[in-house]
């Protein structure tokens, strides 16, 4: 019995040892063979540059592209790395569109009304005076055909637009004198971009388009008499209360300003499908997060401006708003002009606005009226 047991044990030992030796040899071959190791572990890494119209690290809008880059890096496990350049670091703020179109940078972040000189119809995808709120804008873009029209508009420039942020309803702006009638706007120089700037111009003022980083000094030195920027959260960060006395609302010119991520189409097409999807998902996350950030922090900043810095908060007179509304309707219709693409965008926007406004009457507006009535 003893010998039989030993023989069996020895036989099993030889078999197991042989199997382990085989595994060891295979493992050793994979590790020691450089070509095999490289083939099995090689991962393609994409390194992109993102240029933005915003000052570096500006709260809200300026941090949005930084957060986008961070999210994409984590979701892709480092396979898509995006380096963010603030306004003026790689290209001037208002040259982001051209830079991404040329391929100087693979990506950009800004607002479509900055490109009105090159693509006038792009302004519909940023802010339309007396137009859509943030939620309504998201509805048009994502479920009302707006996104498809935006992509079609940018296609000749080799660009893919992706909605990537919204500021919500902005403020009407900072003024160095009171506004009691439309006559008070005559001859006033105001930093105000996009369609709002065209309306202001026709109301008798002079519209000036400049990037955010130039506003404080321009208002301080008298280059401009007034400015709109965003809202209390960003305006406080810029210190605009130090160079203007009156802070007016409501933001008739920008009721829900959409921000965009611009992507060079060739660069996008070079990405694997999973990285393309990661980029799209990350942009939509930023779109949601940024609106939530402004909603939460604007009210706190406004309280500080009024209570701590004694800012004079004023509402624009109803007759001024009505006259601005009349001018706005004409300006928006004229932007479409005879261009078929612009006409298609305008008609889509107009029809959607009419439909969504009807529902807003019995939903958001009715609810807000009820809430304020019961609270006061």
Instruction: Kindly report the average pLDDT of the chain as a whole number.
Output: 90
Q: Which range among 9-23, 221-235, 271-285 shows the weakest confidence by mean pLDDT?
A: 9-23
What is the domain-level CATH number for residue 197? 3.40.190.10
Domain count, the chain: 2
pLDDT mean over 320-340: 94
β-pair type (80-85, 46-52): parallel
Residues 128 and 240 in one domain: no
Residue 164: burial class (beta carbons within 10 Å; 0-12, 13-18, 19+): buried
Residues 266 and 289 in one domain: yes
Residues 201 and 76 in one domain: no
pLDDT of 90 over the 90 cut: yes
pLDDT of 2 over the 60 cut: no
pLDDT at residue number 41: 57
User: What is the longest distance spanned by two Cα atoms in the chain?
Assistant: 117
Residues 68 and 83 in one domain: yes
What is the domain-level CATH number for residue 89? 3.40.190.170
pLDDT of 241 over the 50 cut: yes
pLDDT mean over 74-97: 98
Residues 263 and 128 in one domain: yes
pLDDT of 34 over the 80 cut: no
Would you place residue 338 in the very low, low, confident or very high pLDDT band (cuts 50, 70, 90)?
Answer: confident
User: In angstroms, what CA-CA distances link 172 with 108, 252, 291, 295?
Assistant: 27, 6, 18, 17
Q: Report if residue 39 sits inside a domain.
A: no
Q: Report if residue 9 sits inside a domain.
A: no
pLDDT of 371 over the 90 cut: yes
Would you place residue 10 in the very low, low, confident or very high pLDDT band (cuts 50, 70, 90)?
Answer: very low
pLDDT at residue number 11: 40
Q: Report if residue 332 sits inside a domain.
A: yes
Residues 331 and 201 in one domain: yes
Q: Report if residue 37 sits inside a domain.
A: no
Instruction: Identify the domain containing residue 272 by its residue range.
Output: 46-165+256-295
pLDDT mean over 366-376: 89
pLDDT at residue number 337: 87
Would you place residue 374 in the very low, low, confident or very high pLDDT band (cuts 50, 70, 90)?
Answer: confident
Residues 156 and 198 in one domain: no
């Amino acid at each position: 019995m003893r010998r039989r047991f030993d023989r069996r044990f020895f036989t099993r030992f030889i078999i197991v040892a042989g199997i382990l030796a085989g595994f060891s040899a295979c493992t050793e071959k994979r590790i020691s063979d450089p070509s095999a190791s490289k083939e099995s572990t090689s991962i393609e890494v994409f390194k992109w540059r993102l240029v933005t119209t915003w000052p570096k690290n500006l709260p809200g809008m300026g941090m949005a592209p930084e957060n986008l880059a961070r999210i994409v890096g984590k979701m892709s496990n480092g396979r898509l790395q995006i380096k963010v350049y603030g306004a003026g670091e790689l290209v001037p703020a208002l040259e982001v569109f051209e830079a991404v179109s040329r391929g100087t940078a693979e990506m950009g972040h800004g607002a479509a009304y900055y490109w009105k000189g090159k693509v006038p119809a792009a302004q519909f995808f940023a802010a339309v005076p007396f137009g859509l709120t943030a939620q309504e804008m998201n509805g048009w873009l994502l479920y009302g055909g707006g996104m498809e029209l935006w992509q079609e508009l940018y296609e000749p420039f080799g660009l893919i637009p992706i909605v990537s942020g919204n500021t919500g309803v902005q403020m009407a702006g900072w003024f160095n004198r009171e506004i009691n009638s439309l006559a008070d706007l005559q001859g006033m120089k105001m930093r105000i971009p996009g369609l709002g700037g065209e309306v202001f111009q026709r109301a008798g003022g002079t519209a000036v388009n400049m990037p955010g980083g130039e506003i404080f000094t321009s208002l301080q030195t008298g280059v401009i008499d007034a400015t709109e920027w965003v809202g209390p959260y960003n305006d406080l960060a810029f210190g605009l209360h130090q160079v203007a006395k009156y802070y007016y609302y409501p933001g008739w010119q920008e009721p829900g300003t959409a921000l965009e991520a611009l992507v060079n189409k060739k660069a996008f097409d070079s990405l694997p499908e999973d990285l393309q999807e990661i980029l799209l998902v990350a942009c939509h996350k930023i779109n949601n997060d940024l609106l939530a950030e402004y909603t939460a922090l604007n009210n706190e900043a406004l309280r500080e401006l009024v209570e701590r810095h004694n800012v004079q908060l004023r509402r624009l007179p109803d007759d001024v708003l009505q006259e601005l509304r009349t001018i706005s309707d004409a300006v928006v219709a004229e932007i479409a002009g005879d261009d078929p693409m612009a006409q298609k965008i305008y008609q889509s926007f107009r029809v959607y606005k009419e439909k969504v406004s009807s529902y807003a009457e019995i939903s958001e507006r009715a609810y807000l009226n009820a809430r304020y009535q019961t609270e006061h």
